[in-house]
Amino acid sequence: MRPVQRSQVLATARYEQTRPLSQAAVLEIKRRRRVHVGPCLTFLFENTTTIWYQIQEMVRAERLERERDIEHELATYNALLGGPGQLGCCLLIELDDPVERDRRLREWREASRSWLARTRSWPSLVPTSF
């Protein structure tokens, strides 16, 4: 997938003008790109549009104006797309109870080193990276 370019990131004032339409469209895209795995795990398969939205929202929420701060957001979020031959996604963990969340995250942190993935088009197991 193509990474989001700096030229695609709108100034906050301009983004505010288009935000309601952008938000509705991107949330619909994200809805179709979610795969729920059990009661508290969801894989969100990002694309250039969803990453652009995340960057715009961070620039807006944090009121970023310095070029280096915006470039940092670009690098951070573009990394979620994966590189050539890779499939990038976010693992969303939804646990409301802070005690359970802390316990399970510690367990999963260790387990994540041994996760494998398989798809219909690539039936061999491949290691994941976090």
Residue-wise pLDDT tens digits, 13-58: 999 999 999 999 999 999 999 999 888 989 999 999 999 999 999 9
Q: Do 130 and 79 share a domain, yes or no?
A: no
| 40 and 53 fall within a common domain | yes
Domain span at residue 31 reads 6-94
**Is residue 60 domain-shared with residue 17, that is, in the same domain?**
yes
Are the CB atoms for 25 and 52 separated by under 8 Å? no
Q: Higher confidence at residue 105 or residue 74?
A: 74
DSSP state of 121: S
Largest Cα separation within the chain, whole Å, is: 48
49 and 30 inside one domain: yes
Count of domains observed in the chain: 2
The pLDDT of residue 115 is 65
The share of the chain scoring above pLDDT 90, in percent, equals 63
Q: Enter the tokens of residue 44.
A: 């969100």
In-domain check, residue 26: yes
Tell me the angle at which helices 67-78 and 48-61 cross, rounded to the nearest 10 degrees.
Answer: 140
41-44 sheet: strands from edge to edge: 34-37, 41-44, 90-93
Note the pTM of the prediction, 2 decimals: 0.80
Q: What does the pLDDT read at residue 49?
A: 96
Q: Are residues 80 and 107 in the same domain?
A: no
**Domain match, 105 and 43 both:** no
